[in-house]
Amino acid sequence: MVADMASPHTSERDRLAMHSPVVTSTGRDLRLDLFRGLALWLIFLDHIPSNVVSWITIRNYGFSDATEIFIFISGYTAAFVYGRAMSERGFVVAGARILKRAWQIYVAHIFLFAIYLAEISYVATSFENPLYAEEMNILDFLKQPDQTIVQALLLKFKPANMDVLPLYIVLLLLFPPILWLLQRAPTVALGASATMYVLAWWLNINLSAFPEGVWYFNPFAWQLLFVFGAWCALGGADRLGSALRSPYTTGLALAYIAFGIIIAFTWYVPGFSRLIHLPVWFEDLIYPIDKTNLDVLRFAHFLALAAVTVRFVPQTWPGLSSWALYPAILCGQHSLEIFCLGIFLAFAGHFAMVEVSTAIWMQILISALGITIMTGTAALIMWYKTLEGRGPTTRPKTTNADLAGGEA
């Protein structure tokens, strides 16, 4: 996902464009759309609890999960789109567009919060079981809607599974000056980002949450992935190109991925931890693997996955224009809408399972149905955008930042 992106093979791409429904002539790297689409599917599957299909998702085979992919690609796309706007129209215009995008995401988040309120209110009135008297404390916040709703609007109160969009909002709010610096001194910008990451770990810097605690995704730690994505988009990928093509890098990445699989198996396969007995000092060293602060193990795992992906899936890979991958690419091209839909469908799917059946056939049905609805909706959104003359294949002549701005 990293190399070659900023140096598109023009002739090859144009050749593909003629035969493909999806390849654009705008320099957009379809691998980004593909992997973001896949990440959205995985996030949906992971958010349905007790779902047998979620066994296929990457979080069960290593340290990182789809969130890393989503945030990295979002950083990459944001830099690609707004970077061009900033070069062509200046800091103020590009900054204004970025803030507009942050606002859209904020509105989407509040919409999801309303759905969450509806679901939890339903549970409050319909579910009674003395065994779970303690769990029903989750409803406490309904007793003080004045505080809770205001805190939700301030992004301090965030229900479970609703942490990614607030992170994204903060990342975008901080993005204009970072982008400005990335265009002038990319190494300095990346260094500053890494320093911030270290400081966040060292000094325990995080945003506070309501009623207590801190943000589940610490923006000061997770910004590293977003800025790294942006750095790659603005020429960093080229600079890494030769290193990424080296067989040593690939070998190292594959070895680390294998290490991740072995460790993950000790979590999920009973008996495996007896075969592979990790020494206590080693366990003390690696655990807990901190998702809140983007643990180094997670970040490294993402880098390894990205390095291997870039090595074996070139931008000119014919599979990118195949119909089989088109649904994922389509979802990746409308990521905000499909992300929100996925969160909603995970809620709804779990609800349907609780009310109808939790059998394995139901879990598979819900998973398949959810992905179909996500794909259908993405197709519908593309159709609307085509009507308005701003689909990914029909770009407006004056500026092309809006389209991609809508998808950053």
Partner 1 sequence: MRLVAAAALAAFVFADGAVAAERPRCGVPDYLLFGESPLKRVSAVVATQKRLQIAVVGTGSSALAGPDGPPSAYPARLETVLGQRLTPVAVKVVTLLRTRLTAEDLAKGMDKLVTDEKPNLVIWQTGTIDAIRRLDPDSFKSALEDGVERLHKGGADVILMNMQYSPRTETMISVTPYADVMRVVAQHFDTPLFDRLGIMRHWSETGAFDLYAVGRDNVLAQRVHDCIGRAIAALVINAGKLPAVPAAQAGQ
Q: Interface with partner 1 by CB under 8 A: which residues? A: 47, 49-52, 54-55, 119-120, 123, 126-138, 140, 158-161, 204, 206, 209, 211-214, 216, 268-271, 280, 283-284, 287-288, 290-292, 346-347, 350, 354, 358, 360, 363
Q: Which is nearer to partner 1, 31 or 350 (CB)?
A: 350
Shortest Å distance, C-beta 208 to partner 1: 9
Q: Which residues pair with 208 in a beta bridge?
A: 214
Select from 400, 392, 395 the least CA-distant residue to 333.
392
Q: Which is nearer to partner 1, 11 or 212 (CB)?
A: 212
Q: Which is nearer to partner 1, 133 or 324 (CB)?
A: 133
Q: Which is nearer to partner 1, 104 or 161 (CB)?
A: 161
Q: Could you tell me if 116 and 193 are in contact, meaning their C-beta atoms sit under 8 angstroms apart?
A: no
Shortest Å distance, C-beta 341 to partner 1: 16
Shortest Å distance, C-beta 354 to partner 1: 6
CA distance 53 to 360: 9
Q: Which is nearer to partner 1, 18 or 280 (CB)?
A: 280
Q: Which is nearer to partner 1, 123 or 181 (CB)?
A: 123
CA distance 128 to 16: 58
CA distance 41 to 38: 5
Q: Which is nearer to partner 1, 65 or 407 (CB)?
A: 65
Shortest Å distance, C-beta 161 to partner 1: 7
Q: Which is nearer to partner 1, 24 or 51 (CB)?
A: 51
Q: Which is nearer to partner 1, 18 or 133 (CB)?
A: 133
The one-letter code for the residue type at 344 is F
Backbone angles phi and psi of 110, in degrees to 5: -65, -35
Shortest Å distance, C-beta 126 to partner 1: 7
Shortest Å distance, C-beta 339 to partner 1: 16
101 contacts: CB under 8 Å, gap ≥ 6: 78, 172, 405, 406, 408
Q: Which is nearer to partner 1, 134 or 146 (CB)?
A: 134
Distances in whole angstroms, Cα of residue 251 to Cα of each of 67, 244, 325: 25, 11, 27
